[in-house]
Structure 1
Amino acid sequence: MKIKNIKVDALTKRVGFTVLILVIYHLLTFVTIPGVDSKELLSLQNNSSLTMLSMFSGGSFDNFSIMSMGVTAYITSQIIIQLLQADVVPKLTQWSKEGETGRRKLDQTIRTLTVILGFIQALGIALGINQLTNGQFVIGSSWRNYFVIALLMTSGTFIAMWLADQITEKGLGNGISVIIATGIIAKFPSMTVQVIQNLNSGKDLNYALLTYLILGIIGVTLLIIWFTTSELRIPVQYSRRESMTGKDSYLPLKLIVPGVVPIIFASSILAIPQTLLLMFKSKETSALYKVVNEFFTLQSSAGVVLYGILIIFFTYLYSIVQIEPEKLADNFQKQEAYIPGYTPGVETAAYIKKILNELSLPGSLFLTLVSIIPLLVANNISSSLQVGLSGSSLLIITGVFIEISRQIRGLKMKTNYGTFLNREYDFD
């Protein structure tokens, strides 16, 4: 009897699938939207509103393709639904407790909201850019043209959302984070050129400042890696299995439980008012416009402070949303597991929630400091650095690579458990 392995290695399949999806996404960024003069965007390269939106487009905003909005509207919809399901809207709260069925209903609600927000945002972007370019961006500024442009951009958001879901399910890492990270990386060459140009003092390059900048980036990256990979291990005991295995079991909680999600969510929140401001550029002399523009931009001190507050808020919120202490305590009880010193059920859930809050304090402060300090430095060198070389970008990129490496290690461990249970064979 001959045994022949007919299954491709799971890790190879996931790597290949992720690369394929990213290539498809990149090719779609060249599908430009008709009815606009994308060359007019060159004069708006340092516009704070468009710079923020560019982060979520995966590098496809420069030529105003159908993928220009990226996953912005989808992220915003997720934020809104997750906030509303936290005992704000009873129906959404009920769905969040109904397992797989409830999750499908919530996903459908998020997608429906994505259509509405995406269309409004796309319309605002088209109107705003046209105002910024004195009516030179949209060719033939009729409402029909604006409708078609908004429809195509919203369709691109759905394509980006679907591609991100495919990476999450069949590839490596979280799809949304991977697309955003690759978009930031794709802009590195142009950002590097702009950095060097801004470091030129007369005819000579300021090598000292360039060296400090490079060392700072390396130092911050190493600090991010150390902080992101740190974890707290809570001992867990099993009533039946403890005496049989003789091994210690524990619940690992990362020091930064939600990873880079708070950074992405905070950036997305700031992007919403920036989109609205584009629509009302003609009223930039009004007091309300000036206040909103001051607080919802990464180019002002007030905006940077608000950005930090949002990061802290989402770190606390998403730590609870991601771990779900009540559900985790319930699973412990079903598996006859317990945390020493705490009774199963409500007391265990309360203890886990307390630990999450304690971890969120240093975690949120770290995310905030790493995001804000390089951002303030970058604003004094070049406004374009707020996306290209800011701490937020480093956090997103580093977090994505760490998450992918963890998933790869998990797949390798699974494969190494034995070929009989982990491979498919053909007997002939």
Structure 2
Amino acid sequence: MKEKMLKKENRKNIWQRVGITIGILFFYDLLTYVTIPGIDANALVKLKNNPTLTMMSTFSGGGFQNLSLLSLGVSAFISAQIITQLLQSGVVPKLTEWGKQGQVGREKLTQFTRILTIILGFTQAVGVIAGINELSQYGFIVNDSWWNYFVIALLMTAGGFIAIWLGDQITQYGLGNGISIIIAAGIIKRLPSLTNQFMLSVSTTFGEVKWDLVILTVVIILALTTLIVWFNCSEYRIQIQYTRRENKTTADSYLPLKLLVPGVVPVIFASSILTIPQTILLFFQNKQDSSVYRMVNDIFSLNSTIGTTLYALLIVLFTYLYSLVQIEPDKLAVNLGKQDAYIPEVIPGDPTALYIKNILFDLGLPGSMFLVFISVIPLIAANTISSSLQIGLSGSSLLIIIGVLTDMGRQIKGLKLRHGYSNFMSKEFAFN
């Protein structure tokens, strides 16, 4: 009887997490309709196919279409996280020291990231407002004054922190990583309009649909989905042995490492990095005819060969970097030593840390190549069909959505095992 009540309580806990996640996403969606005062939203509609604004809308969770309070979304926070992680990797000694101080150090780094988010968010907001105003031939800002720029940028920055806070609530009380879920939800929200754009792009002037292109696209999407799910569910297992056990029998223990260690993070980071120079370029819309402007725009645009190549290189870089940040081989080697555990034929301590690093580097090659393939190849194909579909049809969006759903399923599975409840979902609907 007691076991039955415990299972019922555990089931209630999982459903509660599901409800909290859905509720926060619903509240977030409502806030995307709260338009910032002092702007003409109709002027923004004319620029919906602008590549820079299209990429920025990906990180807004659906809040950029009408320049709502949440129009910045989590983009500034992601950029601040990237910069903080790079600086603490031996670049700034003080930040490196904080990274080694445990919980106290993490709190200091979090505070530093928040302050950096304010600076980046406000700067990005001013750049976006100025750029849109100039692209719309100065019809976007109702009253073109510095005070209006300041207030609108301040509201957008505050909205960014609301988005971050809601993401943190999902991470703590809901399912999955809140920031990634908000980004994925924004992509899913835009799927109907993107599908409509796609159907228009593959239709002739007489309204006839080119079904061969439609079927080919559907087949590619299904193939990519299958490949992404397989990669997300694959793992590399490192054998672990313990020197102290109550009984003398040895059990099979292992340390599981996902084949794609950093998940979708490198793709999100690479996309976020490209939005920074594109946002800066919005300040200089009146210089579009200059050679310097065109050169910089080509370098950081996903519509150009150079920009696509840079995007691929950033994905590779962040795959290796974030793998080390996420696993932390040195700390993992120390923890294994504290548990009297070791990897067979590997000396405990620094050799173990080096061994794990080498494995992460080995996994980084196929992982990064997979991410590049998924992100870049569909991007090139989408640009060939219609440049306005570069976000909607790209493997990056598909990777983010599937990666988020897979992580949520993995967390549900972990909660079921931890609480001893295995029948929350039937096998037909269980995530692998």
After TM superposition, the score normalised by the length of structure 2 is 0.94
Q: Which of 16, 25, 30 is matched with 2:19 structurally?
A: 16
- Cα displacement (A) at 1:359: 0.2
Q: Deviations over 1:192-250 (max 9, x none)?
A: 00000000023210011100000100001100111121110010001012855632000
| Structure-2 residue corresponding to 1:189 | 192
Q: Deviations over 1:125-168 (max 9, x none)?
A: 00000000010000110000000000000000000011111111
- Cα displacement (A) at 1:2: 9.8
Unaligned runs of 5+ in 1: 419-428
- 8 Å CA contact 1:21–1:167 kept in 2: the answer is yes
| Structure-2 residue corresponding to 1:421 | none
1:44 corresponds to 2:50: no
Moved segments of 4+, more than 4 Å: 1-8, 242-245
| Structure-2 residue corresponding to 1:209 | 213
Letter in 2 for 1:42: V
Q: Which of 229, 251, 255 is matched with 1:251 structurally?
A: 255
| Structure-2 residue corresponding to 1:121 | 124
| Structure-1 residue corresponding to 2:147 | 144
Identity rate of aligned residues, in percent?
Answer: 57
How many Å separate the matches in 2 of 1:2 and 1:392?
47
CA RMSD of aligned residues (A): 1.6
Q: Deviations over 1:282-319 (max 9, x none)?
A: 01122221111001111111111110000000000000
How many Å separate the matches in 1 of 2:147 and 2:398?
41
| Structure-1 residue corresponding to 2:156 | 153
| Structure-2 residue corresponding to 1:227 | 231
- 8 Å CA contact 1:21–1:163 kept in 2: the answer is yes
| Structure-2 residue corresponding to 1:134 | 137
How many Å separate the matches in 2 of 1:292 and 1:276?
10
Output aligned runs, 1:26-425, within 5 Å: 26-203=29-206, 204-241=208-245, 243-244=247-248, 246-416=250-420
Q: Which secondary structure state, in structure 2, belongs to the residue aligned with residue 341 of structure 1? A: coil
How many Å separate the matches in 1 of 2:9 and 2:236?
37
Letter in 2 for 1:64: L
Letter in 1 for 2:344: P
Q: Deviations over 1:32-65 (max 9, x none)?
A: 0000001111111110110110000001111110
How many Å separate the matches in 1 of 2:13 and 2:244?
33
| Structure-2 residue corresponding to 1:423 | none
Distance 1:2 1:290, change over 3 A: closer
Letter in 1 for 2:223: G
- Cα displacement (A) at 1:384: 2.3
How many Å separate the matches in 2 of 1:199 and 1:268?
30
How many Å separate the matches in 1 of 2:384 and 2:91?
42
Q: Which has the higher contact order (CA 8 A, sep 6+)?
A: 1
How many Å separate the matches in 1 of 2:162 and 2:280?
24
How many Å separate the matches in 2 of 1:241 and 1:166?
39
- 8 Å CA contact 1:10–1:411 kept in 2: the answer is no
After TM superposition, the score normalised by the length of structure 1 is 0.95
How many Å separate the matches in 2 of 1:243 and 1:88?
48
How many Å separate the matches in 2 of 1:399 and 1:199?
29
Letter in 2 for 1:187: R
Q: Deviations over 1:10-31 (max 9, x none)?
A: 2111101111110111111011
Pick which of 407-416 and 244-253 moved more.
244-253
How many Å separate the matches in 2 of 1:308 and 1:242?
50
| Structure-1 residue corresponding to 2:429 | none
How many Å separate the matches in 1 of 2:249 and 2:285?
67
How many Å separate the matches in 2 of 1:299 and 1:258?
26
Q: Which secondary structure state, in structure 2, belongs to the residue aligned with residue 201 of structure 1? A: coil
Unaligned runs of 5+ in 2: 423-432
Q: Which secondary structure state, in structure 2, belongs to the residue aligned with residue 258 of structure 1? A: coil
